[in-house]
Amino acid sequence: MTRTIVSCSFAIALAILMSGCNEQATYDPSKQAGGEPPLPGAHNFLAPPIQVPKYVGWQPGKKPKVAEGLQIEAIASGLQHPRQVYALPNGDILVAESNSPDAEPVTTPKQLIAGIITSRSGKKAKGANRITLLRKRTDGSGLWDKYVFIDHLHSPFGMQLIGDTLYVADTDAILKFPYRTGDTSMTTPGVELTDLPDKINHHWTKALLASPDGKKLYVGVGSNSNVGENGLDVEYRRANVLEVDIATGGSRIYAAGIRNPTGLQWEPQTGRLWAVANERDEIGADLVPDYLTSVHEGGFYGWPYSYWGQHVDPRAQPQRPDMVAKAIRPDYSIGSHVAPLGLFFYTGNNLPAQYRGGAFIGEHGSWNRSPLSGYAVTYVAFQNGKPVGTPIPVVTGFVSDDEKESYGAPVGLTQDRDGALVIADDVGNTVWRVTKAGG
């Protein structure tokens, strides 16, 4: 009798355990895209879901797939975790080779285990902590030369040129360097303009965007946790967009409650500030959608207390109904767990007409969702300064069709002088260049 009870409870326990591990997504990311995404109910898992493709890299001759009418080429390979790209006025392209400073202490058993599992993805590889300069040869060969431009940085990500000053956002400070057109290496050491929040650095990238008048820098600072599990005191000046005054280095919080704003750009038609952001994990394969949104001065976007407007997240305690009440709903869902890390409003005219006037998004790809989502560069069309339709996959094939192996993952985006789309691939250690087919 006792034995029957025990074996029954054991069977039930195992069944619960298995179901906890096998939760499948029900929405295709495109079905959850747009301004009114369907949001299923939140639920806690028994074990955090993890699906991580094994990193194999790009085998010789292999490259991502592009949409019809486009072609793709590698303009630099063998890099060390190229994370962000930035085009200089003379046509040179800067590449920040960078990864997490790995300063986050292990404070839970879960971090120990998750660290081991996710390391197989190649996303944890060491970054070179430098900026490399790529220059297209003038001999018509289409080849690009590679120079070490600035070395010995500290997890750099954002880069902006204002006049003849190059600003680089390390994970702990904004540095300024004197830039001379045509230089291929920076000999002058950087001078700190201002420090940036650098404790724990759960989300370590510091996105950077200069105001059109060149007087302010906007900095995307990610949160120090998924949803406040490291305590809310370490979230001081985190999960926000900071505005830094270039003349004084003084800064203020421009907008708050954005969990991880990794890409900041001006929407060309309206001149408004837009951001892509990574939302919270572990309450469902289809929650919470990552988003693309306009960023309002003084606005609060919910993290950690609520998501997508007023959907309260009870994991963040103590709760703040006053903050939930004023949380702004983001403009546009890109899909859950796609991990948007790059944003670029395309203004060139090399790519076909359907890719003009909107934004490209570099989706680094999920690690806690089945099936995988992201692992693509998508295009979101804009009309009258607002995103419309669903994100269109433009560059894909960063993972194998069976989702078992990963070759690369797109991050930062820019366009070069010829109007080509340039993509940093930090897992594949390559910089890709997309142009119109036959061009």
20 binds other proteins, rule: CB under 8 A:
yes
13 binds other proteins, rule: CB under 8 A:
yes
- Based on CB atoms, which residue is closest to other proteins, 83 or 202? 202
> Which residue in the set 23, 30, 40, 45 belongs to the binding site for other proteins (CB under 8 A)?
45
Smallest gap, in angstroms, from Cβ of residue 78 to other proteins?
37
Report how far residue 107's alpha carbon sits from residue 137's, in angstroms, rounded to the nearest whole number. 50
Q: Quick one: residue 287, left, alpha or beta (phi over 0 = left, psi -120 to 50 = alpha)?
A: beta
293 binds other proteins, rule: CB under 8 A:
no
> Which residue in the set 23, 229, 331, 403 belongs to the binding site for other proteins (CB under 8 A)?
229
Listed ranges 82-90, 91-99, 108-116, 164-172: which one lies at the site for other proteins (CB under 8 A): 108-116
Enumerate the β-bridge partners of residue 219: 208, 242
Provide the pairing of β-strand 405-406 with 54-55.
Answer: parallel
117 binds other proteins, rule: CB under 8 A:
no
- Based on CB atoms, which residue is closest to other proteins, 314 or 371? 314
- Long-range contacts from 186-192, C-beta under 8 angstroms, 24+ separation: 186/149, 186/150, 190/150
199 binds other proteins, rule: CB under 8 A:
no
Eight-state DSSP code of residue 350: S
> Which residue in the set 32, 223, 225, 366 belongs to the binding site for other proteins (CB under 8 A)?
225
44 binds other proteins, rule: CB under 8 A:
yes
Report how far residue 324's alpha carbon sits from residue 270's, in angstroms, rounded to the nearest whole number. 28
223 binds other proteins, rule: CB under 8 A:
no
227 binds other proteins, rule: CB under 8 A:
yes
- Based on CB atoms, which residue is closest to other proteins, 68 or 233? 233
11 binds other proteins, rule: CB under 8 A:
no
- Based on CB atoms, which residue is closest to other proteins, 73 or 229? 229
321 binds other proteins, rule: CB under 8 A:
no
- Based on CB atoms, which residue is closest to other proteins, 235 or 363? 235
8 binds other proteins, rule: CB under 8 A:
no
Q: Is 153 exposed, middle or buried (0-12, 13-18, 19+ CB in 10 A)?
A: buried
15 binds other proteins, rule: CB under 8 A:
no
Q: Which of 236, 202, 199, 238 is nearest to 219 (CA)?
A: 238
DSSP H/E element including 13: helix 2-21
> Which residue in the set 15, 47, 143, 388 belongs to the binding site for other proteins (CB under 8 A)?
47
Give rounded-to-5 percent helix, strand, coil for the chain. 10, 35, 55
- Based on CB atoms, which residue is closest to other proteins, 285 or 316? 316
Q: Are 30 and 390 in contact (CB under 8 A)?
A: yes
Q: Which of 158, 67, 85, 64 is nearest to 379 (CA)?
A: 67
Smallest gap, in angstroms, from Cβ of residue 225 to other proteins?
7
- Based on CB atoms, which residue is closest to other proteins, 317 or 349? 317
Report how far residue 223's alpha carbon sits from residue 324's, in angstroms, rounded to the nearest whole number. 17
Provide the binding-site residues for other proteins, judged by CB under 8 A: 2, 6, 9-10, 13, 16-17, 20, 44-48, 107-110, 225-231, 282-283, 314-318
